[in-house]
Amino acid sequence: MSRRVQLLVGTRKGAFILESDADARREWQVRGPFCETWPIHHFVRGEGGLLFAAGGSAWYGPSVWRSDDGGSSWSQSSTGLTYGPDEPEVTTIWNLTPVDGTLYAGVEPAGLFRSTDGGRAWSHVEGLRQHPSRPEWQPGAGGLCLHSIAVHPADPNRLWVAISAAGTFETIDGGATWQTRNKGVRADFIPGPPPDFGHCVHKLRLHAERPDTLYQQNHCGVYRSDDGGRQWTEITGGLPSEFGFPLAIHPHDPATIYVIPHNGPEAGRHMIDGHAAVWRSRDRGESWQQLDDGLPTSNAYLTALREAMAMDSLDPAGVYFGTSTGQVFASSDEGEHWQLAADFLPPVWSVEATLVED
Amino acid sequence: MAKVHLPRSLVTLFPAPPPRQVELQAASLGELIDQLEARWPGMRDRLCGSGPGIREHINVFVDGERERDLTAQLPGGAVVHVIPAVAGG
C-alpha cells in the first residue's frame, strides 16, 4: 500500500495538488493548475475521495468544481447558488466544508449554502441572512465573506460560522435560527461599548474531539472559547502581534494550536520585520513558542491568508502554510523544522492536507 | 438560424465542450440562452447572474452591436459573439 500526503492548494489562478510520500514528506511533486485557472478560494477532499474546489470568476461568476478521479478531469456547477433575482449576486465562494454527506459553502456576500448531492445543486440556508443584524453587516478588507464553517461532530444541526466582519454565529436547529457568539471578543474598530456583532473574525476552528472548544484568530487578537462560543477568552498574550489570518489545531491534541502573527492591519499585513515564523501553543494558548527553523528569517515580507494553513493527520503531524507570494512551506515534525515545498505558485489562498492510501 | 461564437474560456468549462461555433434557432437573446442551457446545462449560470440580464463582464454582440437585454429580438441569420470583457492581471 502506498501512503501519500496531498496538499490541496487553492490559488488566485487555479488549484494545485502537491504530493509527497507520507513517511518522508520531503520531496513534493506539483500538479496543476486545475479548474481552468479560475480563482480558487478553497480546495478540499470530500467523502469517497471526491475533490471539490470553489471560487469565483470575474467573468463567469461563482462555481464549485468537482473531480471524481483525483484531479484528472473536472466539472463545475453553481445551480442554486443565488439569493434570488432581487438580492445581491453571489460573487464567490470562500469556504467548502464537507460533513457526513453534506457539503457546506460559505460565500460572498456573506451567506451559507448546502448541497446534499455532491456539489451539483445548492440550497440557501436562509435563516442566517434573516438574522436581524444582517442589514448592518460590514465587509472586511477581503469583502463581506462567510469564511469559516464548523460543524459539531455529534450533532449535525449544530454549527458555527464566522463572517468578516460580522462575527461568529451559532445555530442549534440546522440553520433555521442563529445566535451571535462574540462575547469577550474585542472589536477595537467599533467605538462605544462591546458590540454584539460586527467582529472581524479571520479564522474560526473547532476540534472534533472537544467540540465545545473553539479557537479564533481575529483582527483584534487570538481567542479560545470553552463553551461553544458563548464566552471567549483572549489568548494573545505571549504572541508578538495580535494580528494574523490563519489558525490550525493539532489533529490529535485539541490543546495544541498554531497561528502566524502578522505585523498589523495598517503596517503591510505581512510577517513581522520580514521574519517568517509560525507560533505554537501546547497549552490552549496559555503560552506560545516561535517556530522558524528553516523559514526565511530576513527580508521575507510574506503574508499567509486565512485558509492557507493546515495540518495532516500523521504522527508526528505535518504543518503546512502557503503565502500570497506563491510559496508553500512544510514541516513534517509539528513545526520544529521547515522546508520549502513549492515556490513560484500564484498567490496562495488555501491549503488543505489529506492522506491518500492506495 | 443564429450563428453563435463562443469563447474558449467558456466552452472549456464543460466536460463535453461545445464547439466554438453553434447554429441555433432562436427569436430572442433570451431564447438563445435557453437553447444553450438545454444543450449544455449550467451555461446560463456562466452567462447570466440571478438578475434579468447578461453578467456584467460578459459582452454579447448581435451583428456587431453590443446587446445586454435578453428580450432583444434576433434578426434572421444573426451573428452573435459572446466575448469576455478584457480585464485581468
Can you tell me the ipTM of this complex? Answer: 0.95
Q: Is omega for the bond preceding A33 within 30 degrees of 0, making it cis?
A: yes
In a domain, B89, yes or no: no
- B58–A60 CB contact, under 8 Å: yes
Q: Which residues of B touch A76 (CB under 8 A)?
A: 13, 42
User: pLDDT tens digits for A159-196?
Assistant: 999 999 999 999 999 999 999 999 999 999 999 999 99
d(CA A67, nearest CA chain B) in Å: 11
In a domain, B61, yes or no: yes
Which pLDDT value is given to residue A103? 98
Domain of B20?
2-84
DSSP H/E element including B80: strand B79-84
Residue B42's CATH number? 3.10.20.30
Task: Collect the ranges in chain A with pLDDT lower than 70.
Answer: none
How many residues make up chain A in this entry? 358
Count of domains in chain A?
A: 1
User: pLDDT tens digits for A194-247?
Assistant: 999 999 999 999 998 999 999 999 999 999 999 999 999 999 999 999 999 999
How many residues make up chain B in this entry? 89
CB-based contact B48:B55 (threshold 8 Å): yes
Q: Which of A11, A37, A40, A60 to mutate to test the interface with B (most CBs of B within 10 A)?
A: A60
Cell readout for B47 is: 452567462
- Mean pLDDT over B57-66 rounds to 96
Which pLDDT value is given to residue A1? 78
Which pLDDT value is given to residue B51? 83
Count of domains in chain B?
A: 1
- Which of B12, B13, B50 is the closest to A83 by Cβ? B50
d(CA B18, nearest CA chain A) in Å: 14
Which pLDDT value is given to residue A141? 83
pLDDT at B88 over 80: no
- A85–B50 CB contact, under 8 Å: yes
C-alpha to C-alpha distances, A240 to A188, A235, A259, A264, nearest whole angstrom = 18, 12, 11, 10
* Euclidean distance between CA atoms B85 and A255, whole angstroms: 50
Domain of A287?
3-357
- B49–A61 CB contact, under 8 Å: yes
* Euclidean distance between CA atoms B57 and A339, whole angstroms: 41
Residue A183's CATH number? 2.130.10.10
Q: What is the mean pLDDT of chain B?
A: 94
In a domain, B49, yes or no: yes
Which pLDDT value is given to residue A140? 84
pLDDT at B89 over 80: no
Q: Please give the torsion angle defined by the CA atoms of residues A257, A315, A308 and A164, in that order, rounded to the nearest 10 degrees.
A: -40
